[in-house]
Structure 1
């Protein structure tokens, strides 16, 4: 998603190009791309000028939405999730659970307000500071 966001204005990007830039095996990347396509983040175009592209502008896609689509709910430990679970006998007086809930809430707040565009901006700033001239 980061690579596609960085190259958003270039049209469809072939999976081979993404794999090369991200140092990933093409077959592994294609599995990820298919999952992201099923989640509605990507579309693909066949043919010579084909490839994958984002369905929305990078400013409209949050990191939190991507994480949830790929990994499920954002929870640092099972007892702070909203899913049905076995109740821990220590839960009524467990102060660590409260801390983990605060951690969850802080992470959710950060990833839900951070967009792919924000991520791209951070990458470009780091490149400028390091004097990097290659393209990610």
Structure 2
């Protein structure tokens, strides 16, 4: 299940994607207010996203945040893995963090693991093939207006 932290990260990134590829920086207070995200929680999320190269940040009076890469280059899968870890519904179905279940005698013969690896692959297929640019196109197609901030 998607954590609240990952959901907030995605919402903040989509909002930043609306601002385009310019040099304009968005204040954390504006992101928090517009997306209804607790500011302290958002600060921690944005620091993590910056640390992983998704955001550019500048401190000080004229500071703020913007995407460090084009929206088309940031996928939902990448963001969710950064925030929540693996996409597999069970540790034994994880591609990169495999851990056998304690009550399983043979992971290779386990029918539950077999199905959960298919769930993992389908989930990764969707999340890795949809970017912030796709989400932005969806948002705009629904009639939602991008909000421009005067910096």
TM-score range for the pair, normalised by the shorter chain length: 0.7 to 0.9
> Is the counterpart of residue 123 in structure 1 residue 136 in structure 2?
no
8 Å Cα contact 2:81/2:87 also seen in 1: yes
Question: What stretches of structure 2 of length at least 5 have no aligned partner?
Answer: 1-12
Distance of 1:61 and 1:27 partners within structure 2: 24
- Any conservation in 1 of the 2:92–2:98 contact (CA below 8 Å)? no
Report the more deviating stretch, 42-51 or 96-105: 42-51
Alpha-carbon distance between aligned partners in 2 of 1:70 and 1:133, rounded to the nearest angstrom: 27
1:56 aligns with 2:72: no
RMSD: 2.1
Deviation of 1:94 (Å): 2.5
Greater per-residue helix proportion:
1
1:75 is aligned to 88
Q: Which residues of structure 1 form unaligned runs of 5+?
A: none
Q: Which deviates more from structure 2 when the two are superposed, residues 69-78 or residues 29-38?
A: 69-78
Specify the SS of the correspondent of 1:44.
Answer: strand
Aligned match of 2:19: 7
Paired residues in the alignment total 132
1:56-81 Cα offsets, whole Å, 9 max, x none, are 11011111111111122211111101
Distance 1:28 1:117 in 2: 24
Task: State the TM-score, normalized to the length of structure 1.
Answer: 0.85
TM-score, normalisation: structure 2: 0.78
